[in-house]
C-alpha cells in the first residue's frame, strides 16, 4: 500500500476493481522456520522454533539464485554458446523456486533464461504483463499451499502490446503511460513496477507475507536479444532486512 498514493487515481480504481472481483479471505499465514542471509536477525517477538526443520529459504536467497542463473544464461548468449544446464534447485526451496508473471507476447523460454528447470517455476503468462483477479488468486494459492516466497513480474523489451489501442489492453497501457510520464521513466519499467504494487495492493495475503519478509516481489524486463534481465526494483526492496514500517 505504501506506494499507492503516488500512483494516482487510475491505479486506485484498478485496485478497487481487482478487490471487488477478488474474494480472498485473509488466512493468517502459518508461522514458518526460515533460513536468512548471514548476519541477519529475525524481526518480531516470536520465539525461535528450535525443533522445526529449516525447510524454507529467505526470498532474497532465492532471488540471488535466480539472478545468478540469468547471468550465466546471458553470459552464454554473449559468447554464442548453448544455454547452460539449469542450476540445481536450492536445498529447502518450496514446490517452486519462484513464480514468474511474464508477458505472453515474450517469445523466450523464461525458465531457461533464469537457469531454472521448468518444474521449478510457476510460470504465468498474461498480456502486458497486467495483473488481474485470477492472477492474484493463483499467486495466493501458491503462497498459501506451496510456500511460494518469490514472485518475479517480467515484461520484455519491445513488447508489441504496449501500443495505444481502444481496447482493454490499450486502456491499461494508457494508464501506465501517464504514470511513466509523471515519473519520467520508460513505459516498460513503469508497467512492471505498477503491476508489482498492484499485486501487493490487491492481496492482503501477499501484503502480510511481504510484511513478515516471507515473500518478495521483484519487477524486471527481459531483453530477448541478450537473454539478460534488467531488474527494476528499488534499493529498499533488495535490502536484507526491510525497514520496519
By CB under 5 A, name the binding residues for Zn ion. 103, 105, 159, 161
Shorter beta-carbon distance to Zn ion: residue 82 or 164: 164
**Cβ contact 130:195 at 8 Å:** yes
Write down the least CB distance from residue 127 to Zn ion, Å: 7
> Which C-beta is closer to Zn ion: that of 173 or that of 215?
173
Secondary structure of residue 151 in the 3-state scheme: strand
Q: What is the dihedral of CA 159, 125, 55, 52, to 10 degrees?
A: 120
Contacts of 227 (CB under 8 A, 6+ apart): 70, 73, 74, 76, 77, 83, 108, 113
Name which of 100 and 159 has its Cβ closer to Zn ion: 159
59-62 long-range contacts, Cβ below 8 Å, gap at least 24?
A: 59/149, 59/150, 59/213, 59/214, 59/215, 59/216, 60/216, 60/238, 60/240, 61/35, 61/36, 61/37, 61/90, 62/90, 62/93, 62/97, 62/98, 62/149, 62/150
- Closer to Zn ion by CB, 24 or 174: give it: 174
Smallest distance, Zn ion to C-beta of residue 59, A: 25
Shortest separation between residue 150's beta carbon and Zn ion, angstroms: 21
Q: Which C-beta is closer to Zn ion: that of 34 or that of 130?
A: 130
Q: Pick between residue 26 and residue 225 the one whose CB is nearest to Zn ion.
A: 225
CB 147 within 8 A of CB 56: yes
CB of 18 or CB of 161, closer to Zn ion: 161
CA distance 140 to 133: 11
Query: Residue 71 has which C-alpha cell?
Result: 547471468
| All residues at 6 or more sequence positions from 132 whose CB lies less than 8 Å from its CB, including other chains | 18, 126
At closest approach, how far in Å is the CB of 105 from Zn ion?
3
CB of 216 to Zn ion, least distance (A): 23
As measured in angstroms, the least distance from the Cβ of 146 to Zn ion is 26
Q: How far is the CB of 224 from Zn ion (least distance, A)?
A: 10
Amino acid at each position: 500500500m505504501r506506494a499507492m498514493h503516488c500512483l494516482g487515481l487510475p491505479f486506485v480504481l484498478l485496485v478497487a476493481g481487482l478487490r471487488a472481483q477478488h474474494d480472498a479471505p485473509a488466512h493468517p499465514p502459518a508461522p514458518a522456520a526460515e533460513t536468512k542471509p548471514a548476519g541477519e536477525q529475525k524481526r518480531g517477538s516470536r520465539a525461535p522454533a528450535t525443533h522445526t526443520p529449516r525447510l524454507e529459504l529467505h526470498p532474497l536467497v532465492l532471488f540471488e539464485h535466480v539472478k545468478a542463473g540469468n547471468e550465466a544464461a546471458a553470459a552464454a548468449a554473449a559468447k554464442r554458446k548453448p544455454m547452460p544446464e539449469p542450476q540445481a534447485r536450492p536445498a529447502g526451496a518450496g514446490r517452486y523456486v519462484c513464480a514468474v508473471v511474464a508477458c505472453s507476447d515474450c517469445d523466450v523460454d523464461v525458465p531457461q533464461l533464469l537457469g531454472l528447470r521448468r518444474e521449478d517455476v510457476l510460470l504465468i503468462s498474461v498480456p502486458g504483463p497486467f495483473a488481474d483477479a485470477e492472477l492474484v488468486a493463483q499467486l495466493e494459492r501458491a503462497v498459501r499451499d506451496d510456500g511460494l516466497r518469490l514472485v518475479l513480474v517480467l515484461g520484455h523489451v519491445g513488447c508489441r502490446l504496449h501500443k495505444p489501442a481502444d481496447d482493454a489492453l490499450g486502456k491499461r497501457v494508457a494508464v501506465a503511460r501517464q504514470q511513466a510520464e509523471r515519473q519520467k521513466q520508460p513505459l516498460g519499467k513503469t508497467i512492471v513496477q505498477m503491476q508489482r504494487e498492484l499485486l501487493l495492493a490487491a492481496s492482503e495475503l501477499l501484503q502480510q507475507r511481504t510484511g513478515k519478509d516471507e515473500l518478495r516481489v521483484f519487477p524486471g524486463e527481459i531483453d530477448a536479444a541478450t537473454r539478460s534481465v534488467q531488474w527494476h526494483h528499488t534499493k529498499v526492496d533488495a535490502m536484507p532486512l526491510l525497514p520496519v514500517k
